Structures are given as C-alpha cells and as structure tokens.
Amino acid sequence: MEKPAGHHSHPHPHHPHPHNHVVDGPTSRRDFLRVLMGGALAGASILDLAWHRAAWARSAAPTSEPNLFDIQKVANGIYFARAHPQAMLNCNAAIFVRSKDVVVVDAHARPSAAASLIGQIKREVTTKPVRYVINTHFHADHTQGDPAYRLTGQKVDFIASAATGKLLESLAVVRMKAEVATVPQQIDALRDQAAHAKSAAEKAFCADQVRQLQAYQAELKDYTPVLPTITFDKSYLLQDAAYDLHIEFHGHAHTAGDVVVYCPQARAVATGDVIHGFLPNIADGFPRLWPAAIDSIGGADFNTIIPGHAALQTGRTQMVNLRNYIEELTGRVEESRKAGLSLAEMQQRITVASLKSLHSNGYEEYLARMSALSHSRFSKVPPLQSGVNANIADVYGNIDRT
Ligand SMILES: [Zn+2]
Ligand SMILES: [Zn+2]
C-alpha cells in the first residue's frame, strides 16, 4: 500500500458492504469455486475462503451477495469497476471487453479481491476470458491481486512499463511486509473503537474490519509478486476488431513508471493514480514533473476518465483541478524552502484556505464528496488539512526528483 498522503493518509476507509447487488440468474457453483480454489486462496487464507464460501451461499440464495465492486458501463464493451471501501484499500479497475477476450486494468490489494472481480465480470459483464492484465504502476493496491488472474487456468499476460517492472522487483516484497506489519496496530485501534462503540451496528462494523485485516494478513503471508510478462518504455498497442488500446507512459508523475490506457474509439482513458478524485499521493511522486505528465495525457481526445480511485469522471474539470493543485502546492513549497522555512512551518502556513486551486471549479467540495464515498459513518473522515500536510511533506521530500 502507499504511505501517507491523499487517500493514503487514511488508507483504511472503513465501510461495510453498502451495495447489495441482486444477482442475475443462477451463479455457477463450479465456476465460483474454481476461481477461489484454483489457488488464488489455497493455503493462504482460510478465513477468507470461509467468508467467500458464505458469500457464495448468500448469492446462490435468491437474495444478494456482498460484491467488492460496482460495475458500470462506460461505452460499448467498456466498464468501470468502482472498489467498495475495504479495510485495505483496493483500487478501481477498467474492464475492456474485446472480440474474444478481456483486458483488465489494475488488480487491487490482494488476490481474493481480484478473484472477487473475476467472479463479478463473469456474472455481470461477459464469460470471455481475461487475456491481459495491465498494471498502471507498482503500488500494492494495484498489483497484489495479480496472482488471482494467473490461477484462473487461462493464458494471461501482465503488461507494465519497464520502470514499473523494476520497481516491482525491488520494492514489492519490502513494501508488502511493511504494510502487513502495521496490521496489528490497526486491529488494536478497531478493538478499542469497538469497546467504546455507541451501537451494535458500530460494533459489528469493527468486527468486520478486524476480520478483513486478519484475512489480509493471512493471505499475504506466502505472497509472491507477479512480474510483468510484457514491458515497454514509451507505448504498447493492443489492437482488436472492437477497438484499440494504447498503453502509454507520459513521464514521471505519481511514480517513475505510471502508464495510462487510452481507447480513442470510446474517447476514454484509464489513468491509475496519475489522475483520480482523491488528493494525490506524492510519496513516490515527482512534484515538478507530474503536471506536465497530465498535460501530455490531456493532449489526447477523451471525455471519460476511468480513475484508479474514487468516482468515474466525465469531462476534464477534476483532472485540471488535480493538476493545478499539484503545481500550486509545489510552487508554495519551493518558495517556502527558499525563504528558509522548516517543514513544520510550511505545514502551518500552507493552509487549505490559502491554496487557490482548492477553491477553483468546486475542487474542495468534490474532494469532500469523494472522501465521504470512501468512509462509513463509523469512521472519521480526516480533515482536508491533514491530507494537505502529508502532501506538503512528500513534495518537500521529493521536490528535486527528476
Ligand atoms: Zn498509487
Ligand atoms: Zn492507488
């Protein structure tokens, strides 16, 4: 998982499963168990296996199943899967259905979450096999689900930039271990919250969060990252009778290896964490270069942005808001550094009220809406200033990266 700022300043958006989907038609028990038992969970997560079995039992009953995603149609053959809030943050996915197969962009925080999406795609979108998984960047909430695709028994290629391949090789395991090491502390905090809970519903929420964290811990115990099988430096083209997908690197931004997936025929682009509706995460970022990368992406003709987090975006307003915020914040930190201010002084002076970009085009309100979307009524939504402070610290630390 990514560390401090933006959506990662509160990486545990507590939320139960609020969207109960009515399942259309009978679910194939064999398919469901094949996905789950195919190895994605085998031996790694007894808790989650039990939970998914229970989920299957509920879905097979004529009622509902707690899906982990909301899948909505973007254009012909193109879908957006918005991740429900979970104890460990999952990214959204873009789903591209082609003539004979499917391309999925990004793979969430754990194999069982990807297995869950694979099941939902089968039930709600298409029975065609997933042939390609594109990882927009190396962060855990976009890559740790990769093994689930390999275990479907279909031939799957994993596509990423060469830079992302290198980052996965050097950092995936180290980062995963560091993240897993924070779990006991999170569980303690939830048990404390449960002890002071004001309702049975809040208590149940805490218990469910603890269950998710324990399952995550167990599942990641024997985790081995999947390295990309196809890498490239600048761009890679997937052609099909249905439409083309241009996988493109536009420069250093959220990480050293971010790519976007652009479909000219649908005028849609999947952007990972370079463009999304939370505050940016700049912990591995390039503050001086990121706005130029967004400008370069914006040179293409599109009207729909499928982001790595928060809601689907129509038009470019929020893309421009994010771009201007990063540019303004970087400028402010730069000035402050020249004036000899310490980081703590910067965090005192660069306030939400003083940042023009937050007050243009409804950006502050939009961020509040997106933040609310990722929190339940039982979890505290952190004030915007705490996210801004994390961004200031990351810009301060990374300002000279090129
Ligand atoms: Zn990221
Ligand atoms: Zn992310």
**For 364-393, what is each residue's pLDDT tens digit?**
999 999 999 888 779 888 999 999 999 999
**Token representation of residue 271:** 């952007």
Spacing, Cα 308 to ligand 2 middle (Å)? 6
Compute the distance between CA of residue 402 and CA of residue 290 in angstroms, rounded to an integer: 10
Low-confidence ranges of the chain (pLDDT < 50): 1-46, 55-65
Placement of tokens 């254009």 in the chain: 75
Torsion angles phi and psi, residue 384, rounded to 5: -55, -35
**b/e per residue 31-58 (b: at least 16 CB within 10 A):** ebeebbbbbbbeebbebbbebbeebbee
- Residue 37 DSSP label: I
For the residues of 121-187, what is the DSSP string, one character each?
Answer: HHHHT--SPEEEEE-SSS-HHHHTTHHHHHTTSS--EEEEEHHHHHHHHHHHHHHHHHHHHTHHHHH
Spacing, Cα 236 to ligand 2 middle (Å)? 22
Burial of 21 (0-12, 13-18, 19+ CB in 10 A): middle
Spacing, Cα 58 to ligand 1 middle (Å)? 33
User: Which numbered ligand comes closest to the C-alpha of 141?
Assistant: 2
Spacing, Cα 278 to ligand 2 middle (Å)? 10
Model pLDDT, residue 375? 84
Spacing, Cα 202 to ligand 2 middle (Å)? 27
**Token representation of residue 294:** 């967004």
Burial of 214 (0-12, 13-18, 19+ CB in 10 A): middle
Residues whose Cβ atom is located within 5 A of ion ligand 2: 91, 141, 273, 308
Spacing, Cα 229 to ligand 1 middle (Å)? 21
pLDDT digits (tens, 9 = 90+) for 295-326: 999 999 999 999 999 999 999 999 999 999 99
Model pLDDT, residue 381? 87
Spacing, Cα 156 to ligand 1 middle (Å)? 23
Q: Average pLDDT over the chain, rounded to whole? A: 88
Spacing, Cα 254 to ligand 1 middle (Å)? 7
Spacing, Cα 90 to ligand 2 middle (Å)? 7
Model pLDDT, residue 252? 98
User: Which numbered ligand comes closest to the C-alpha of 139?
Assistant: 1
Cβ atoms of residues 270 and 260 within 8 Å = yes
Spacing, Cα 200 to ligand 2 middle (Å)? 32
Instruction: Give whole-number Cα distances, 301 to 264, 269, 324, 397, in Å.
Output: 7, 9, 20, 34
* pTM of the entire predicted model: 0.85
Burial of 22 (0-12, 13-18, 19+ CB in 10 A): exposed
Compute the distance between CA of residue 184 and CA of residue 199 in angstroms, rounded to an integer: 24
Compute the distance between CA of residue 154 and CA of residue 156 in angstroms, rounded to an integer: 6
Model pLDDT, residue 212? 95
Compute the distance between CA of residue 261 and CA of residue 36 in angstroms, rounded to an integer: 28
Spacing, Cα 331 to ligand 1 middle (Å)? 23
